Structure 1
Amino acid sequence: MLDAILLGLIEGLTEFLPISSTGHLLIAEHWLGRRSDLFNVIVQAGAILAVTLVYRERLRELATGWNKPELRDYSIKLFVAFLVTAVLGLLAKKLGAELPETTRPIAAALIVGGLIIFIVEGWAKRQPIRDLVTWKLAFAVGAAQVIAGSFPGTSRSAAAIFVAMLAGLTNRKLAAEFAFMVGIPTMFAASAYELLKLAMHGQLQSEAWGELAAGFAVAAVTGFVAVKWLLRYVAGHSFILFAWYRIALGAVLLILLG
């Protein structure tokens, strides 16, 4: 139960920060012991619920504001980004793409991702602040989520945020909002797909449901806190802090791995 709570805490804190929740879970499970696929799906669902609650008013506004051109345009671009992710994600599954479960690739991806953050932030500082979500941005964010999902340690939220910034959305808070809003249907769909697959293979009966519930609840609460904090933080700061964290963690992992 304590392991389940700890993993739920890690998932909630890292799912929407640009530091890779999948990478952190795989690292933690390397020492705590591998959990079932169902457990990982359930704790991820807790984090998705958290960001849905954070953006509940924005989601309600988009759902009821189709008569307003700017809201309708934003909603359509969100849907296009989700559609690109879904189509490319299913294609990747059909081609047999699987996440590696060893720690060394995660360490390398953490370091490379940190260096990319430095590059993107250096570029963004020389650009004017832009708030426009373009079609190019929607397609790019959709594709970025699939690419990141194939490499643990990359971070889906990081890929979506920084691709959005490179595509012209240099307002960091709005870039994070678009990335998170695309992530809501994407991750709900991915979790539902994995649950259906596990159910069809009869892998739902032997689970410790108390541990699943604890991991889900902790991920939801900590995810809510993490997203609220991140949105306040990036309103006045860059993402450089996360670049240093990624590089430091990746270096420590490589040292531990010898």
Structure 2
Amino acid sequence: MIDLFKALLLGIIEGITEFLPISSTGHLLIAERWLGHRSDLFNIGIQAGAILAVVFIYRQRLWDLLAGFGKPSNRDYALKLGVAFGITAVLGVLVKKLGFELPDQVTPIAWALILGGVWMVVAEYFAGKRAQALGERSDISWTVAVLVGVAQVVAGVFPGTSRSAATIFVALLAGTTNRAAATEFAFLVGIPTMFAATAYELLDVVKSGQAVHEDWAAFSVAFIASAITAFIAVKWLLNYIQSHRFTAFAIYRVAVGVALLLLVPAGS
């Protein structure tokens, strides 16, 4: 029962942090130090639970893209989603083949949170300047699509960076000055990305025989908790960005990063 409660907490943490620009991976790695280490399948699987929330929220948009694929604007948008995902998939597999593993120390995560927070403030400033120069632009260019794909991989390599923050701000800086449009594209690209990552990890676990050791009850509890809390968090965020900047998230990141460096100075 205690283990299920810990899995529930991890699922809630994942659901809240996956799409808020504060880094879900960084928070999970830190939380695991008190709630127990989990398998890669568990961590990636509950991210897929959070993605389900986005699928539900954007279900009409996804259906319009699918049903109206013959329409040039829909086809163009869908192809750009495909390009962004393709770049992420290729580079992601390459990173995996090179043997990259997430750090098990707090210090690099803390610095990623701090530097990411500073970068968000700087990026928001320049994104605002770009918006003034270009005006309100909701279109997604091929440059934006490519850079968003690369940003997803960078966020995966450096826990604490935040996939949502990296992709949203890359889109804003590259010319999509409308926050809602940039956020929508970033979130929609995350759907095939996280589902593919989960499938890849699941296949690897099944091949290696580790699946028999997975605690599927805890996995299920965390998966459902992640999906529910992510739905609430995304709905809140989409409303929040209509009238607020991302500054509060940047301050939070810096505060958490500094606190971690002070409380865990050895990074152990």
Same fold, TM exceeding 0.5? yes
CA distance in 1, matches of 2:42, 2:193: 18
Residue 168 of structure 1 corresponds to 175
Per-residue deviation, 1:124: 2.1
Asked if the contact 2:68–2:74 (Cα under 8 Å) also holds between the matched residues in 1, the reply is yes
What does residue range 29-48 of structure 1 map to in structure 2 within 5 Å? 29-48=32-51
Of 137, 161, 165, the residue aligned with 1:154 is 161
Asked if the contact 2:139–2:181 (Cα under 8 Å) also holds between the matched residues in 1, the reply is no
Residue 234 of structure 1 corresponds to 241
Q: Does 1:139 align with 2:168?
A: no
Residue 82 of structure 1 corresponds to 85
Runs in 1 of length 4+ with deviation above 3 angstroms? none
Residue 112 of structure 1 corresponds to 115
The answer to which of 34-43 and 5-14 deviates more is: 34-43
Residue 124 of structure 1 corresponds to 127
CA distance in 2, matches of 1:107, 1:236: 29
CA distance in 2, matches of 1:167, 1:160: 10
Per-residue deviation, 1:208: 2.3
Asked if the contact 1:41–1:195 (Cα under 8 Å) also holds between the matched residues in 2, the reply is no
Residue 260 of structure 2 corresponds to 253
Aligned amino acid, residue 262 of structure 2: I
Q: CA RMSD in A?
A: 1.0
CA distances 1:31-88 after superposition (whole Å, capped 9, x unpaired): 2221122221221121111111111111000001122111111111010110111111
CA distance in 2, matches of 1:80, 1:37: 26
Of 53, 65, 68, the residue aligned with 2:68 is 65
Aligned residues: 258
CA distance in 2, matches of 1:121, 1:237: 12
* Identity of matched residues, %: 59
Gaps of 5+ in 1: none
CA distance in 1, matches of 2:120, 2:136: 17
Asked if the contact 1:12–1:218 (Cα under 8 Å) also holds between the matched residues in 2, the reply is yes
CA distance in 2, matches of 1:187, 1:93: 15
Q: Does 1:98 align with 2:101?
A: yes
CA distance in 1, matches of 2:44, 2:188: 19
**SS in structure 1 opposite 2:212?**
coil
CA distance in 2, matches of 1:36, 1:97: 16
Asked if the contact 1:43–1:219 (Cα under 8 Å) also holds between the matched residues in 2, the reply is yes
Q: Does 1:221 align with 2:228?
A: yes
Q: What TM-score do you get using the length of structure 2 for normalisation?
A: 0.94
Per-residue deviation, 1:130: 1.6
CA distance in 2, matches of 1:212, 1:87: 28
Asked if the contact 1:20–1:153 (Cα under 8 Å) also holds between the matched residues in 2, the reply is yes
**SS in structure 2 opposite 1:204?**
helix
Per-residue deviation, 1:92: 1.3
Q: What TM-score do you get using the length of structure 1 for normalisation?
A: 0.97
Residue 11 of structure 1 corresponds to 14
**SS in structure 2 opposite 1:184?**
helix
